[in-house]
């Protein structure tokens, strides 16, 4: 060919390619992004993050997942079974099980269970797979399956999972392949089955054949229930408007509803696309506080099925009311269920605003043993406004042994928080009942800090309470005098070593089991969470001084993977107090802006950066950075610090 002829041919091919691409996109806008059953079950699992269990009168764990299977108890298996049913996955593909061992045995029997890479396997998991775990604290073995979750994301060295009963709610977790806690995976053979499907799309196309290139016959309205009689890959054969055709089931939900009566409700090609649903109106509500235990029912009728019992003192949001001859009923949502309760034993509630005097008002996290370091992005948390973290450094078990232990994740948390520029403090979970045990706990805390050269900006706290699963409640049984003594001995040991000491407990424990005098001169950290977690009405009603208030155990921050975390308001500028004391003792040199023990180029950069904005400097840092003592931190101060660093 001549060059001009070649160019014309190439031009024609490009034009046709672009034309066909545009045509394909325009003709199948509803089907360009396919969501397979594994992805759908993963999305359903993620939508449940944050759901928490409740308990019945027998102390058994109760969840909506277990209720669906008529089951109470440990519910990680019930959770993933529920997700499978919501995704419309057939029970032959994903059985209704409540036991992690039963899941393993089932998939192992059909050759679809694989060991993780740590245990010698070579299988690469997929989204929608089931992840199996061994004991968290006890015997870690590939044969000791104790927990399951759903794989929602897959990366080179780890997977993200969503797990129920983790430990008392639905949570997202990062699980490394190299971790001996992760035992293996099961991969359900996801496939669509015949049955009824409900359209989840505003543009669900009814096509002449079971392929993307088949002619569009109608657009099926959202919410239409179709009876699918045959399967071709991801397409289901059905009848709509008297016309037989195929729909993409990735845009439908398997349902037990009966098929929608055959009407002329759809739109033929070339007409207007069926309009999307109007946005839901903003829901208004009135808060009510229960004056006594009240039955929660499925309908506004005293004979309606009972969904649960809401305890006296709880706060509920009522979005609708209904009156009959005897009662005024309020519609609300409780434990994930929508229902009604009689308002005759309730009163309208409006929480007062907490009036706690404070020097600052900082957002501070506290980190326990259950937080995996890999699940926290400390830089992101700092950007979200978290100023500091109080890390668990160790604890003591309960029962006869009362073994003392250090927290294995503490140092990793400490380094990451410090690197992100956060203030750091620590707490020890105490179960001491004698003076000797209290001093032993304090000394272990001090040993860990000194051995690792940890520099704290916040106090060292003793966390005194009773384990939730300790039926004996040994601290409460020991009484106020013993609890006060334990706290005092721990704090005195810490203070004698030069640290600022503090006490953590909940409001009722502080009032009933500690003498008020033990808080004098120490940081008072009080936990008081809202009775209604769906409301924004938080308050601390402790009458004593509150220096730090733990206002929720269900905080949600992106840097923590939107998992439930403890959040606090800190009202005292501890870094200034602690660092001023160190400066007065001659432990910090003038010009050491980052308090690392030496004047370095990093100090000059920090001083220069803060010559423009001093908002993040503590009073002591401002004082130390003002080298020429002219009342402000300037570039001249930065240069002088740099000269000191060089000399």
DSSP 236-283: EEEEETTEEEEEEGGGEEEESSPPPP--S-SB-TTSPPPPPPPPPPPP
| pLDDT value, residue 336 | 67
- The pLDDT assigned to 18 comes to 34
Over residues 189-195, the mean pLDDT reads 76
What is the structure's pLDDT at 586?
A: 64
Q: Which of 245, 250, 202 is nearest to 222 (CA)?
A: 202
Give the distance from CA 423 to its chain's centroid.
22
2 pLDDT exceeds 70?
no
The pLDDT of residue 616 is above 70: no
Q: How confident is the model at residue 7 (pLDDT cuts 50, 70, 90)?
A: very low
Q: Contact 354/73 with Cβ under 8 angstroms?
A: no
pLDDT tens digits, 326-363: 889 999 887 767 899 999 888 887 644 334 456 788 88
Report CA-CA distances (Å) from 133 to 38, 153, 366, 431.
Answer: 20, 17, 26, 29
* Under 8 Å between Cβ of 294 and 327: no
- Dihedral angle, C-alpha 635, 640, 642, 643, nearest 10 °: 150
pLDDT given for residue 239 in this prediction: 92
- pLDDT at site 442: 95
Name the phi and psi angles at 396, rounded to 5. -135, 135
Give the pLDDT band of residue 24 (cuts 50, 70, 90): very low
Greater model confidence, 202 or 535: 202
A 10 A CB-CB count for 56 gives 11
**Which pLDDT does position 175 carry in this prediction?**
92
| Listed range (32-36, 208-212, 608-612) with the worst mean pLDDT | 32-36
Of the listed ranges 54-68, 294-308, 376-390, the least confidently predicted one is 54-68
pLDDT tens digits, one per residue of 461-520: 999 987 766 666 788 888 889 999 999 999 999 988 889 999 999 998 998 899 888 998
Rounded to whole angstroms, how far apart are CA atoms 203 and 183? 42
pLDDT recorded at residue 278: 34
**Section 546-552 average pLDDT:** 89
Q: What is the mean pLDDT of the chain?
A: 80
CATH number of 195-255: 2.30.30.40
pLDDT at 614 over 60: no
Nearest alpha-carbon partner for 621 in 523, 383, 609: 609
640-646 average pLDDT score: 76
Tokens linked to 423: 């203030």
Asked if the model's pLDDT at residue 16 lies above 60, the reply is no
Report how far residue 335's alpha carbon sits from residue 117's, in angstroms, rounded to the nearest whole number. 38
Cβ–Cβ < 8 Å for 133, 182: yes
Q: Which long-range contacts (CB under 8 A, 24 or more apart) does 492-495 make?
A: 493/438, 493/439, 493/442, 493/443, 493/446, 494/442, 494/445, 494/446, 494/460
**Sign (positive/negative) of CA torsion 535, 539, 540, 543?**
negative
More confident residue, 60 or 187: 187
Q: Which two structure tokens, joined as six digits, stand for 320?
A: 């609708």
Residue 317 has pLDDT above 70, yes or no: yes
Lowest mean per-residue pLDDT among 101-105, 202-206, 399-403: 399-403
CA angle 285, 287, 288 (to 5 degrees): 135
Residues 425-437 have pLDDT tens digits of 999 999 899 999 9
* Sheet architecture: strand order including 328-334: 306-310, 294-297, 337-342, 328-334, 320-323
Domain 362-578 - what CATH class?
alpha beta
Pairing of strands 386-396, 320-323: unpaired
User: Which pLDDT score, from 0 to 100, does residue 631 have?
Assistant: 76
Q: Which of 111, 113, 133 is nearest to 177 (CA)?
A: 133
Residue that the structure tokens 């309470």 belong to: 465
**588-646 to CATH, choices 3.40.50.720, 3.40.50.620, 1.10.1330.10, 3.30.310.80:** 1.10.1330.10
Digit-coded pLDDT (tens) for 216-274: 888 888 889 999 888 887 788 999 888 899 998 877 877 767 887 765 555 555 433 33
Q: What is the DSSP letter of 113?
A: E
CA-based radius of gyration for the chain: 31
The proportion of the chain whose per-residue pLDDT surpasses 90, expressed as a percent, equals: 28
Give the CATH class of 286-348.
Answer: mainly beta
Is the per-residue pLDDT at 149 higher than 60?
Answer: yes
Q: Helix or strand or coil: residue 40?
A: helix
Work out the end-to-end distance of the chain between its first and last CA atoms, rounded to an integer number of angstroms.
77
pLDDT of residue 265: 56
Cβ density class 251-273: b for 16+ within 10 Å, e for less = bbbbeeeebbeeeeebbeeeeee
| Residue 37, pLDDT above cutoff 70 | yes
Q: Which pLDDT score, from 0 to 100, does residue 482 have? A: 93
Here the tokens at position 587 are 């432990």
Q: What is the DSSP letter of 124?
A: P
Q: What is the pLDDT of residue 410?
A: 92
């Amino acid at each position: 060919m001549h060059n001009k002829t070649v160019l014309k041919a190439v031009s024609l091919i490009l034009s046709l390619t672009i034309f066909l691409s545009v045509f394909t996109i325009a003709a199948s806008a509803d089907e360009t992004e396919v969501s397979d059953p594994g992805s759908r079950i993963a999305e359903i699992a993620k939508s449940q993050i944050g759901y928490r269990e409740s308990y019945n009168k027998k102390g058994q764990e109760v969840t909506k997942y277990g209720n669906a299977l008529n089951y109470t108890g440990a519910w990680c298996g019930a959770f993933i079974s529920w997700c499978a049913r919501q995704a419309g996955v057939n029970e032959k593909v994903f059985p209704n099980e409540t036991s992690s061992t039963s899941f393993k045995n089932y998939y192992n029997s059909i050759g679809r269970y694989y060991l993780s890479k740590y245990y010698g396997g070579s299988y690469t998991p997929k989204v929608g797979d089931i992840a199996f775990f061994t004991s968290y604290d006890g015997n870690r073995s590939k044969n000791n399956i104790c927990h399951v979750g759903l794989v929602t994301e897959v990366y080179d060295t780890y997977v993200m999972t969503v797990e129920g009963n983790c430990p008392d709610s639905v949570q997202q977790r990062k699980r490394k392949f190299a971790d001996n806690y992760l035992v293996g995976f099961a991969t359900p053979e996801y496939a669509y089955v015949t049955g009824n499907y409900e359209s989840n799309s505003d543009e669900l196309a009814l096509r002449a054949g079971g392929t993307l290139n088949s002619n569009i016959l109608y657009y099926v309205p959202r919410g239409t229930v179709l009876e699918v009689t045959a399967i071709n890959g991801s397409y289901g054969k059905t009848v709509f408007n008297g016309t037989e055709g195929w729909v993409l089931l990735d845009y439908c939900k398997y349902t037990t509803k009966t098929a929608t009566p055959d009407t002329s409700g759809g739109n033929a090609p070339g007409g207007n696309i069926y309009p999307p649903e109007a946005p839901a109106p903003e829901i208004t509500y009135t808060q009510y506080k229960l004056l006594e235990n009240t039955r929660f029912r499925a309908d506004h009728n005293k004979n309606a099925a009972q969904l649960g019992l809401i305890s006296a003192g709880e706060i509920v949001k009522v979005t609708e009311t209904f009156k009959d001859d005897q009662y005024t009923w309020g519609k609300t949502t409780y434990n994930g269920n929508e229902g009604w309760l009689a308002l005759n034993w309730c009163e309208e509630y409006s929480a007062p605003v907490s009036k706690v005097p404070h020097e600052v008002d900082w957002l501070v996290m506290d980190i326990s043993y259950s937080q995996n370091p890999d699940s926290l992005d400390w830089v992101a948390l700092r950007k979200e406004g978290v100023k500091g973290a109080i890390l668990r450094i160790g604890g003591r078990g309960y029962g006869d042994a009362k073994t003392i232990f250090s927290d294995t994740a503490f140092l990793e948390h400490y380094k990451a928080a410090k690197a992100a520029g956060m203030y750091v403090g620590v707490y020890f979970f105490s179960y001491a009942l004698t003076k000797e045990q209290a001093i032993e706990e304090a000394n272990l805390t001090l040993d860990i800090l000194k051995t690792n050269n940890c520099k704290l900006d916040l106090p060292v706290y003793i966390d005194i309470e009773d384990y939730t699963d300790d039926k004996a409640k040994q601290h409460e049984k020991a009484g106020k005098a013993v609890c006060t003594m334990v706290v005092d001995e721990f704090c005195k040991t810490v203070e004698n070593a030069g640290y600022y000491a503090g006490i953590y407990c909940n409001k009722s424990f502080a009032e009933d089991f500690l003498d008020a005098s033990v808080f004098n001169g120490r940081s008072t950290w009080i936990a008081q969470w809202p009775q209604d977690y769906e409301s924004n009405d938080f308050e601390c009603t402790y009458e004593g001084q509150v220096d730090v208030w733990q206002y929720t155990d269900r905080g949600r921050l992106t840097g923590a993977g939107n998992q439930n975390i403890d959040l606090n308001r800190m009202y005292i500028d501890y870094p200034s107090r602690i660092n001023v004391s160190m400066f007065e003792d001659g432990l910090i040199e003038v010009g050491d802006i980052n308090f690392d023990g030496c004047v370095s180029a990093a100090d000059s950069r920090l001083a220069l950066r803060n010559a423009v904005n001093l908002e993040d400097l503590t009073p002591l840092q401002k004082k130390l950075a003002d080298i020429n003592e002219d009342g402000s931190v300037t570039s001249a101060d930065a240069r002088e610090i740099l000269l000191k660093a060089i000399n």
